[in-house]
Structure 1
Amino acid sequence: MTDSSVLRLEHAAFTHPGGGGVADLELEIAPGEAVALIGPNGAGKSTLLKGILGLVPLTAGSMHVGTSSSDAATTARDGAHARNGMIGFLPQSADLDPDFPISLEQVVMQGRYRRMGLLRWPGRADRGAVRRALETVGLAELAKRRFGELSGGQRQRGLLARALASEPALLLLDEPFNGLDQQNRDALIATLHALKAQGVAVLVSTHDLELAKLVCDAVVLVNGTQLAFGPVDDVLTLGNVQECFEGVEVEIDEHTLVVPGHEGH
């Protein structure tokens, strides 16, 4: 573990108040590094992302986000501490009604609200951040277009721009490639490469193992607990994938397979 990491988890567990969660997390993400978070449905991937955001309690171990640290004891006593805008988040499902009369530019400006405060009008720095975010995702020419008129893939990229408008050091993506056509998938892959080059740390939840090979430097496998973490080629072995996805459908090289169990192998 290094002092320069953007995110570091040590023996961490995140548990919902009603039970269920993910445990035994030991991982680190440095600036400009992308890590794929891989596991079957119900494995705890979304729980981990929400835990980093402070939306699910840290119940064991410790978490370090930039210069801010927390552990299970302080979280239980004081509650989740604010992440002060250094984390951007793209949720799995869109939280905007496409029929609402709002432009793409206005949607992306929402990403500046935490920095602006409720009563401040957007300034030059805010408008510049929105413009750069739209350029990063390749949608600058559609800034004035009504959000609901965009294609599904363009709306997804617009929501990513909203997350980028806060100029985060760490970007969390929850299944961002679901339902995208090839054009928008390629655009999103290019965006992630650009963000890495800018020094943004990325943690992306996905079922797509090929995506991990194309974009990510490391992989963390989870299924209720962390099973493996390390460089892509070291972690995405047949044995690790069997352990993580036993009896579950998984996409590899654009083919959907059912990973067999260990019996008979």
Structure 2
Amino acid sequence: MTDSPVLRLVDTAFTHPGGAGVEGLRLDIAPGEAVALIGPNGAGKSTLLKGILGLVPRTAGTIEIGGVPGDAQAHARHGIVSFLPQSADLDPDFPISLEQVVMQGRYRGLGLFRWPGRADRAAVRHVLESVGLESLGARPFGELSGGQRQRGLLARALASEPRLLLLDEPFNGLDQPNREALVDTIRSLKRDGVAVLVSTHDLELARLVCDSVVLVNRTQVSCGPVDEVLTLGNIQECFEGVEVEIDEHTLVVPGHEGH
């Protein structure tokens, strides 16, 4: 496994045209490493993920994806990064099977006027198995439970065989079996050398599956190994006065003395 990071951000900022954004980002993610992206609502987590994808402009610092720096990142992203957003734009009532949904993840590599071949079908079977849905491939997507649909969309993201997977609040609304299945999938991806950046409010899930944490609240508060970053002081600085989920309980983090 190479030591070269799949993603590197150095003093990076991503800013929407309207002015909102996130800045001061310094982050390396190595192959096989899972990093939790944690912060309150409106802290810029989704902005960071979309900035990596090139959907929000970079306004400061540098970015490298797959070892390719700067404005060459668009080329580097091809086939390297996949994204699972908070909510997909796929209508669950649309008459399409789970297998067909997952096959959409292969289209980027097919090129114009090429139909999926044997290798594409094998890749779809493999990722369905990896998320525990191998027996449901022919099932209409709309007939799946919410958790199964979420895992199916994760399989779609994995079908392109990315080196970096971005997950935006993937645990929201999942019941315990689907949460456990998603944790198992992330662990499997790490073993396969895939780098994972996962946005989450759940600190215990971050401890369970991630190697490192980056805390953000419009700027980077702290970044490093889980046990070094998830300290009371850092959590107070990042979440002061807002709700945070710890061990399936929602707490309001107190502010610092003297505020």
1:61 aligned residue: 61
From 213, 218, 222, give the equivalent of 1:224.
Answer: 218
1:183 and 2:195 matched: no
Match of 2:132 in 1: 138
| Matches of 2:74 and 2:258, distance apart in 1 | 49
* Cα offsets for 1:82-118 (capped at 9, x unmatched): 4112101100012211100000000000001110123
Alignment map for 1:93-112 (pairs within 5 Å): 93-112=87-106
User: Which residue in the other structure is 2:232 paired with?
Assistant: 238
CA distance in 2, matches of 1:240, 1:213: 15
Q: Deviations over 1:184-221 (max 9, x none)?
A: 00110111101101110000000000011000000000
Ranges of 4+ aligned residues in structure 1 off by more than 2 Å? none
Q: Determine the C-alpha separation between the residues in 2 that align with 1:9 and 1:167.
A: 22
Distance between the aligned counterparts of 2:3 and 2:152, measured in 1?
33
In the superposition, the TM-score normalised over structure 2's length comes to: 0.97
Deviation at 1:11, TM superposition (A): 0.6
- Write the letter of the residue equivalent to 1:210: E
Gapped runs of 5+ residues in structure 1?
Answer: none
Corresponding residue number in structure 1 for 2:43: 43
> Is it true that 1:165 corresponds to 2:159 in the alignment?
yes
Query: Normalization by structure 1: what TM-score?
Result: 0.94
Contact 2:4 2:67 in 1 (8 A): no
CA-CA distance at 1:131 after TM superposition: 1.0
Structure 2 Cα separation of the partners of residues 174 and 205 of structure 1:
5
Cα RMSD for the two superposed structures: 1.4
3-state SS in 2 of match to 1:233: helix
What is the percentage of aligned positions where both structures have the same residue? 78
1:147 matches 2:159? no
Q: Does 1:31 align with 2:31?
A: yes
- Aligned-partner Cα distance in 2 for 1:130–1:107: 10
**Shift in Å, 1:6:** 0.4
1:251 aligns with 2:245: yes
Once the two structures are superposed, residues 20-59 of structure 1 have per-residue CA deviations (whole angstroms, 9 ceiling, x without a partner) of 1000000100000000000000000000000000000111
> More displaced, 110-119 or 2-11?
2-11
Aligned 8 A contact 2:5 2:67 in 1? no
- Quick one: distance in 2 between partners of 1:250 and 1:24? 23
Q: Which runs of 5+ in 2 are unaligned?
A: none
User: How far does residue 264 in structure 1 lie from its aligned partner after superposition?
Assistant: 5.6
